[in-house]
Amino acid sequence: MKRYDLERVDLPKLSGGGLAMFARALEAPVVGAAALRKLANDAGVGVLADARLDEAPRPLPLVPARVADPNRKDPAVDLAPLDAAARTDRYTAQQIIASYRSGASDPVKTTTEIFERIDARTDLGTVFIAKQIDHAIKSAKASKERWDAGRPLGPLDGVPVAVKDEMDLEHYPTTVGTKFLGRDPASEDATIVKRLRAAGAVFLGKANMHEIGINPNCANQHYGLVRNPYDPTRDTGGSSSGPAAAVAARFCPLALGADGGGSIRIPAALTGTVGLKATFGRISEHGVAPLCWSVGHVGPIGTTVADVALGYALIAGPDATDPNTLVQPPVELGALDGKLEGKKIGVFRPWFEHAEASIVACCDEAVKHLVDAGAELVAVDVPHLDLTRVAHAITILSEMATSMDDHKEHHHLLAPNVRVNLAVARSFTSTDYVRAQRVRARAMAALDEVFEAVDILVTPSTAITAPPIPVTDPKTSWSDLSTVTELMRYAFLQNLTGNPALSVPAGYDANGLPIGVQLTGRHWDEALLLSAGLAVEARVAYRPAPESGA
């Protein structure tokens, strides 16, 4: 077995005035340079400089399956398996559609009731940065007319959806969680929004996020934090905090998030929802804020695997406006029956067990569920994890710092925790970035070797359950990079390599906080992950988040 080298990282925990002073110190020319060197050493960045790398740099984790003609239309995805996979015991898209078919409800009634629930849940903080009820009701009325005429647009007609404020939604500004971006409303939808709108989705508004998506927690000092529906004293995770909370609180069964370092999968795990980061290049990024080009992904967060599969099937596929999407195979769901006969699942035990005991126990049960569904368990090695962690950090932070270079005049408006991360990013050199891309090539080769032996790699989604929110003022930012590494322990690899990964609820800890198990697959193998997710979901007892914080 190869040596496991990930260790807990102990870094400063700061908030409020202390954090603001720390940010200013890091930005100071002389003092900042020394402080940044120490911070980088404490975070283990030196491992990159010490590594012997023979691989050529790989700037994108794109694995071509075919070259697609942007004018060619692949056969429509068969959505029939979703009916069999649908759950009737949860707030799902299928449940909502069934209420429309039966006449028990209609899109206008559903949308009106949802906004009433959103307004009543003041215990959750700021789930939505912006809501435009008139636009949502207008869409709901159009949907009702289609249902009354017996001509719904598609499987989401009249279903409420939340959109992370990182992607364009017509009539709304795209602030990316800042106070200076998105001065004007978007004139058109992002491609993924456009595709859901074509299926009849009713958009509730722009969901909150960590500012520029630079941390996997719920902080946003400009709009307020997002509290976890399972326990409002706890973090939702991030940076897709608003979308995950909206689904967990049953405001909508489906939301659109973005994931550059676990930002879909981490909040999904902490809020008892399902989150999919598809293969790099599978889902169009057109109309999405350009924050981290080579590690960023957009995708669905949903109540159930079937909801996520539905969202994925509708938004994935080639898009002429995003060249990265033009090398993918056709989007398919397959049988989606939760049967895994003939499949092999891999566990790298030292990595798997590097989490809280309750998480390891729940995820071990999930492994048993996969074996019960027919899979064979195989021990595997996943090498170079610490080197990969550092390479991912250098890549995503460097790209985010570059994306913010166009807005230098607004730097002072960024929250101190964001400025700390950007100061660290600007201490990296071009050599560091190129070496990180050489590590990407090594990590992709190592994961390819894993998938020669198994079909799915299984890990926890996070190493800890939802941590306590460390501030009392909802508009006070904080920086706790040690906790960040615990949340991201199982997430960074797939962003660097571009492999698809799915977080599925695996159970709950003694405090009733959700635990997620993560399934990682070969490039373009989302259908298998979704089917495996069903095998876990079918065997895990479901506890909805409380209706209120009382």
Spatial contact of 203 and 169, defined as CB atoms under 8 Å apart: yes
State yes or no: is 344 an active-site residue.
no
Share of the chain above pLDDT 90, in %: 89
Report cis status (omega within 30 of 0) of the bond before 503. no
- Backbone φ and ψ for 377, nearest 5 degrees, come out as -85, 130
Residue 152 clears pLDDT 70, i.e. is over it: yes
Q: Which residue type occupies 102?
A: S
State yes or no: is 164 an active-site residue.
yes
Spatial contact of 532 and 372, defined as CB atoms under 8 Å apart: no
The residue whose two tokens read 């209420």 is 99
Residue 69 clears pLDDT 90, i.e. is over it: no
Q: What is the DSSP string of 498-510?
A: ---EEEEEEEE-T
Strand ranges in 32-143 using DSSP code E only, listed in sequence order: 128-131
Spatial contact of 275 and 265, defined as CB atoms under 8 Å apart: yes
Note the pLDDT of residue 30: 82
pLDDT tens per residue across span 332-341: 998 899 999 9
State yes or no: is 482 an active-site residue.
no
Share of the chain above pLDDT 70, in %: 98
pLDDT band with cut points at 50, 70 and 90 for residue 88: confident
pLDDT tens per residue across span 198-207: 999 999 999 9
Average pLDDT (155-171) is 97
Is 80-325+336-384+441-537 a domain of CATH 3.90.1300.10? yes
Note the pLDDT of residue 19: 96
User: Token pair for residue 344?
Assistant: 């092999």
CA–CA separation, 517 and 345 (whole Å): 13
Beta-ladder partners of 520: 457, 501
127 alpha-carbon distance from chain centroid: 16
Residue 2 clears pLDDT 80, i.e. is over it: no
Spatial contact of 230 and 513, defined as CB atoms under 8 Å apart: yes
Q: What is the mean pLDDT of the chain?
A: 95
Average pLDDT (301-328) is 97
Q: Single out the catalytic residue among 131, 164, 194, 343.
A: 164
Residue 550 clears pLDDT 50, i.e. is over it: no
Q: Single out the catalytic residue among 239, 240, 398, 427.
A: 239
Spatial contact of 336 and 527, defined as CB atoms under 8 Å apart: yes
pTM, entire model: 0.97
Q: Single out the catalytic residue among 15, 143, 240, 263.
A: 263
The residue whose two tokens read 């912006």 is 130
Residue 549 clears pLDDT 70, i.e. is over it: no
Radius of gyration of the chain from Cα atoms? 22
Contacts of 546 (CB under 8 A, 6+ apart): 229, 230
Can you give the residue ranges of every domain in the chain? 80-325+336-384+441-537
Strand ranges in 180-245 using DSSP code E only, listed in sequence order: 202-207, 227-228, 231-235
Q: How many other C-beta atoms can be found within 10 angstroms of the C-beta atom of residue 18?
A: 14
